[in-house]
Structure 1
Amino acid sequence: MTGRVASVNVGIVTEAAWAGDASGRSGIDKRPVEAPVFFRTDGLVGDFIGERSHHGGPDQAVYAYAGEDAAWWEADLGRAIRPGGFGENLTTHAVDVTGAVIGEQWAVGEVLLQVTKPRTPCTTFAGFWGVPDLIKRFTARATPGAYLRVVREGAVGVGDPIEIVHRPAHGVTLGEVFRALTLEPALLPRLLAADDLPEPVREKARRRLGESAG
């Protein structure tokens, strides 16, 4: 299955009352760039990340959102959303991001990426869009976008193909993880089958399963 990169987006410094970190600065406002961007294991060169306690790091080096899902939101909200409007580094075309399997690998330009976990909506996101109930609506829609690990560093540009080169047999999808952690706790046991799911997420699933059993 091959898609392509519709846009590569890097964050600028935004100062606002809704910004997440203590300094009131956020990198959620990602802007499309024309030239290829170098992807490192800790993120994109030139990408500002504000609240590093919750954003960035190897398991969240890249955030991807499907252009097809963005189009749904445009219709729902009745307004245009430019590439990067979800805070994503990669806007994809013809890639089933929500259906991606945890641990699957994407060859993108010179880079090899690995799907790690879904994005969890936050108040910064709601403030950036100016939609007070966005967290509730985003959760209900359950197309969260994918965080990815950079397995092989390199450059990525607009139009580069996105090819799924490995898909783990466990079959646990990004969408299942998101729904298990939000509105469908019955799915939590499935998460433990996904060995590539970051340990903090697996621990959260184990803790919730223990609480429900108790």
Structure 2
Amino acid sequence: MTAKKIVKLSIGRPKQMNYKEGEMLTGIDKKRVESAHLGFDGFEGDDVADKKHHGGPDRAVCVYPHEHYAFWENEFGTGLPDAPFGENLTVTNMTERDVCVGDIYRIGSALIQVTQGRMPCVTINKQTQKQKLMKRMIDTGYTGYLCRVIEPGTIKHDDEVECVESGTVSVYESHEAYYHDKENIELLKRVTAVDVLADRWKTRLEERLKRLMEGN
């Protein structure tokens, strides 16, 4: 079995960033570190600026598959900076098709659980200066995913990742239900049946499923 590993561990507090579109306060600019303590609300030394749309217990850790870097660099013809998607953990052998909502992973002394796919925002375009990136992330499903913390602990930049419990619906399938295959009742039923799905996603998808069921 191919080992799941961290490639980069990155954290950063919100700060004023100067983009060509103007200044904004954002926590997307994260820097690589050797290790960091992870609490229930996220890593020490890390935070988000827009707490309405980012962060919170269901979205304490942002994970992004390293395999997608080559895809984006080829598509846009340029390299990418460290943690360009604002991710905390850049990982390998853990793409959205490989990982399920509900998966529980032991990393270092911490335990995390996947709760939802990432909902990319326009700040990613500004940070990378690639104006079509957010849309293309949604098109491809190469969004990464978010996790809650079950057990706090310390994570190191080169830790291996151990799956201790597996879910049944992949992050990619949940992404399809949320963004693309919106009227697929059977898929919506499967996704909403996942008890540990983040509250925001569960509520929205349950409302959509109810409307579809009432219309049939």
> TM-score of the superposition, structure 2-length normalised?
0.89
Question: 1:191 and 1:17 mapped to 2: Cα distance?
Answer: 39
Q: Name 2:179's counterpart in structure 1.
A: 182
Asked whether the 8 Å contact 1:12–1:31 carries over to 2, the reply is: no
Indicate yes or no: 2:197 matched with 1:200: no
Instruction: Encode CA deviations 1:84-109: one digit per residue, 9 max, x unaligned.
Output: 11100001122234431111101101
Amino acid at match of 1:26: T
Gaps of at least 5 residues in structure 2 are none
Q: Name 1:146's counterpart in structure 2.
A: 145
1:31-180 alignment, distance < 5 Å: 31-34=31-34, 36-168=35-167, 171-180=168-177
Identity of aligned residues (%): 31
The number of residues matched between the two structures is 208
Asked whether the 8 Å contact 2:103–2:114 carries over to 1, the reply is: yes
Asked whether the 8 Å contact 2:62–2:88 carries over to 1, the reply is: yes
Question: 2:14 and 2:78 mapped to 1: Cα distance?
Answer: 24
Instruction: Encode CA deviations 1:109-136: one digit per residue, 9 max, x unaligned.
Output: 1111100001111122222222222232
Asked whether the 8 Å contact 1:126–1:132 carries over to 2, the reply is: yes
Amino acid at match of 1:30: K
Instruction: Encode CA deviations 1:2-29: one digit per residue, 9 max, x unaligned.
Output: 31111110124342477xxxx9300011
Question: 1:141 and 1:180 mapped to 2: Cα distance?
Answer: 13
Q: Name 1:6's counterpart in structure 2.
A: 7
Question: 1:97 and 1:184 mapped to 2: Cα distance?
Answer: 16
Question: 2:115 and 2:130 mapped to 1: Cα distance?
Answer: 27
> TM-score of the superposition, structure 1-length normalised?
0.90
Asked whether the 8 Å contact 1:12–1:47 carries over to 2, the reply is: yes
